[in-house]
Structure formats: C-alpha cells, structure tokens
Amino acid sequence: MKRRELLLYGLGLAAQRAEALGDMLRVASIQHDVEAWIALQVLAAIYQRAGLRMEPVMVPPVRASVSIATGDADAELMRPLSYASDHPELLRVPTPFYRVYVHAYWLPGQDITINSTADLHRYSVGIVRGLASARDVAASAPGFTPIYAVNHEQLCRMLRAGHVQVAMDTRLRMQHMLHEQGLDAAHSSPELARFDLYHWLGKRFAADVPRIDAAIRAFGPAELERMALQGLETAKKMKPGEF
C-alpha cells in the first residue's frame, strides 16, 4: 500500500465519512514523525465530529511554519500557545486538542535515578536538536547541557551505544522509537514536563474555529488521550517510514 493511501487508511477515512460535508481544509503536518501521525488521527476524529473534511499535507519541519503563508495549506496541525507571537496571521482554536509529556529514558542495568529536571545534570543526556519540548525542559534544568542528536533514530542509537546515558523526548514518540529499536525494556523517569498543543487555521477559515473547538470540548481530555494512546499502538504495528 502506498504511503499516502496508508495514511488515509490510518485516519479511518474520516474525511470521506463526515456526516455533514463542510469546508475541506488542507492541514500541514510534519512528515515521517510518529507524534504528528498520532495527532493526525486525533484531529481527523475532531474534524469528523465538527462536520468538516481534512486533507493532510505532509511537509518537512522547516516548511510547516510557512505552509499557510505560501498557500500550500489552510491549517497547521499543532503548535504551542507561544506560536501566536510570531504568527499573528493565524487563528488558534481556543481549546488544546493534544498534549505531549516529556520523560527521560535509560537502558536497564544503569545506576540512574531521575525524578525531576534537577537530576539531569548528573548524567549525559541526549535530545533531538530543534525539538521544542525537550529543548525547553533542558533550558529549565539547572547546570545541565544536553548532547544533541540530529533525529530520533540517532538518539536511540546513541543510547544503545552508550554515547549518552539518558535520552529525553516526548513519551509517545520515544516509546515508539524504543519499540522500533527493540528497547522496550528501557526505564523511564516520571513526567518531567507537559505541553498543551493547539490547532491553527488561516484567517479565511475563521467560521470553522468555533466548530472545531466545540468538537474538541465534546470529546474531552480523557477521550482525546485515549485516542492518542490507540494511535501509538497502531503506529507500533507499522513499518518504519509508513507515516
């Protein structure tokens, strides 16, 4: 099955099954990123409930933030609240629909104890360069300087090879990467931080903002979290590169 066809299957063909066919929005999402793929599953259910249709537009990270301005997309999948300061041309759906949790992970047999960010400076900790959530946690940790990986695959390889003692990333993304690397037995810290993420639309779709917001609130945080965890289990059964 082709990658685009598989993505639409993973979305449950929600756009085609919407009961009330409203606007069709092209939603920019980062390609080859499991966290974004999972969030798309959640957003597809939200759009269906709102009576809207969506078409994923998969782009590299550097293009995601300009995809609406260039006319390649009508909406961005998810961004933090602070995104508004640099992008006043966009409209934020008021209620967050996705939440990421940052944890630290290490291999069995290591004498490592991490209960809070205050413990990070005791170890060599790897994070992915450019990942805002892990970067923000690192910046808040006293006396701590991370070791950077270029992507999540390299981060897991660094952990396996002992180049870093600890890998820090968002929970669902890291659990998926560890599963792909056969490292399911890795230990994890308690939650070190959490970040709410919001859906963003171009201003010409202002009328759709309250519809999407109402659908998010109708699902509620518990159901949104359940859908995200279900998305992780689906992603674990997929081959690398299929999202």
Give yes or no on whether 3-99+197-236 and 100-193 have one common fold. yes
Residues with Cβ within 8 Å of 81's Cβ and at least 6 positions away in sequence, in order, are 92, 196, 198
CATH number of the domain at 3-99+197-236, please? Answer: 3.40.190.10
Residue 3 pLDDT > 60: no
Q: Model pTM?
A: 0.85
Domain ranges, ordered by start, for the chain:
3-99+197-236, 100-193
What is the per-residue pLDDT for 63?
85
CA distances to 4, 15, 74 from 55, rounded to whole Å, are: 11, 8, 10
Q: Which value, in Å, is the radius of gyration of the alpha carbons in the chain?
A: 18
What is the per-residue pLDDT for 134?
85
Q: Which CATH number fits domain 100-193: 3.40.50.1010, 3.40.50.720, 3.40.190.10, 3.40.1190.20?
A: 3.40.190.10
Rounded to an integer, the average pLDDT of 1-23 is 53
Per-residue pLDDT tens for 23-66?
Answer: 899 999 998 889 999 999 999 999 999 999 999 999 988 788 88
Rounded to an integer, the average pLDDT of 56-80 is 90
What is the per-residue pLDDT for 127?
94
Residues with Cβ within 8 Å of 64's Cβ and at least 6 positions away in sequence, in order, are 28, 29, 30, 76, 77
8/189 Cα distance (integer angstroms) = 35
